[in-house]
Amino acid sequence: MVNIIEVKTKKELKRFIEFQNALYKGVDQYVPTLLSSELTYLNPQKNPAFEYCDMRFFLAERDGELVGRIGAIISKKANKIWKEKKIRITRMDFIEDKEVFEALIGVVEDWAKERGLEEVVGPLGFCDLDKEGMLVDGFEKPGMFITYYNYPYYPRFMEEYGFEKEVDWTEQIVHLDCPGEEKMQKLCDRLMKKHKVHIVRLKNKRQLVPYVHKVFELINSEYESLYGVVPLTEKQIKFYEKEFISMINLRYVCLIENQAGELVAFGITAPSLAEPVKRCGGRLFPVGWLYLLKAIRKPKILDMYLVAVRSDCRNQGLNAILLNETYQQAKKDDIQFAETGPQLETNYNIQKMWDFFRVEMHARRRRSWKKKIEK
């Protein structure tokens, strides 16, 4: 018999977070979550998202052994903006056992019914900057620090329970093999001159600080129509700013301004933290922070985090300028390859960015599911 326990204490929350490490022990593709970061994200006193989100965490036990976990988020803001009545599943992991899986989904559905909600969706987070999507293809590929890993039986259980696809994201692996490099450079030079824009090159992180808020403002304005997105509040922006600055290498922050000094486009590519986080098991102390610091300073692989172009500049080729600037720096640093974060499969403007490169398209695919709640 499966016993469901609602997480109430900090000790139980640590069990909730660390369950995945035990479940995926020995799986090379799995990248742990940073324990310290996750404890912050899931703390209502520290994460401003709790101002408009309700969340519960549940553990599944059988005979005293932990066999599964699930989180459930009710984003009142998302439901209002998108005119929906949805509950989001998040951080769901379980052994290969249908009884465990159904007990976890069942407790989320029960809570949703209590709140008058009509549909279960996900995996999704508090906002678009959180990890989202269940892996449905590409299980053999090494994972990324910014995404979930899950076993191949997860999507099978979802389908058998009645879940259907809502949206898919795909991830691409971009190799430093650019047959059209000279053509791309000439194009970018011409575009910059034509549209009177310039690249902002930063020498230290103090110079970055004034741009951070502008980056998040551009995210709010240009991501607002994407699936499940809700604008970040001022408190959320401040919450993410510190982590944003700590995780990046300035050589891979590309900012484009117009003549008026307005930020019209940015591309944020960061050193991959997958290997150092695996090495330290998701714990920064006592020496995990040293592994991360080394990876940030001397990257071998890059993670392409975020890109945005202001709507009135979208047909000016600024994406190509961002990509070329990043490519030129990566070539200097002898980077092996870069991986994109999850990109909506219907975001064709982003997918066109890779025309100049040798790319493994759809190297991984992940999904947000949906299911009506039976009354």
pLDDT at 245: 84
Question: For the chain, what is the total number of helices (H) and then of strands (E)?
Answer: 12, 14
d(CA 172, CA 168): 13
Question: Hey, how many other C-beta atoms are within 10 angstroms of the C-beta on 324?
Answer: 21
Cα 195 to Cα 210, 263, 264, 313, 331: the distances in Å are 24, 13, 11, 9, 26
Burial of 195 (0-12, 13-18, 19+ CB in 10 A): middle
d(CA 213, CA 130): 18
d(CA 375, CA 82): 22
pLDDT at 247: 86
Question: Hey, how many other C-beta atoms are within 10 angstroms of the C-beta on 234?
Answer: 10
d(CA 342, CA 368): 12
SS3 breakdown of the chain: % helix, strand, coil, rounded to 5?
40, 25, 35
Q: For residue 123, which of 372, 371, 369 has the smallest C-alpha distance? A: 369
pLDDT at 79: 97
pLDDT at 192: 96
d(CA 91, CA 42): 11
What is the pTM for the complete model shown? 0.93
Mean pLDDT of each 10-residue bin along the chain, 375 residues long: 95 96 96 94 96 98 96 97 97 98 98 98 94 97 95 98 97 87 91 96 90 94 90 94 86 96 95 96 92 95 94 91 93 94 85 80 96 90
pLDDT at 52: 97
Sign for the pseudo-dihedral over CA of 308, 310, 316, 321: negative
Token couple for 24: 């995926």
Q: For residue 226, which of 145, 305, 308, 163 has the smallest C-alpha distance? A: 308
* Side chain identity at residue 37, one-letter code: S
DSSP state, 31?
-
Cα 224 to chain centroid distance, Å, stands at 16
- For tokens 């329970």, name the residue: 161
pLDDT at 350: 73
d(CA 172, CA 361): 5
If you count them, how many residues does the chain have?
A: 375
Cα 84 to Cα 81, 315, 369: the distances in Å are 8, 33, 15
List the beta strands (DSSP E) in the chain: 3-6, 53-62, 65-75, 86-94, 119-122, 134-137, 164-175, 198-200, 253-257, 263-271, 301-309, 337-340, 343-344, 359-372
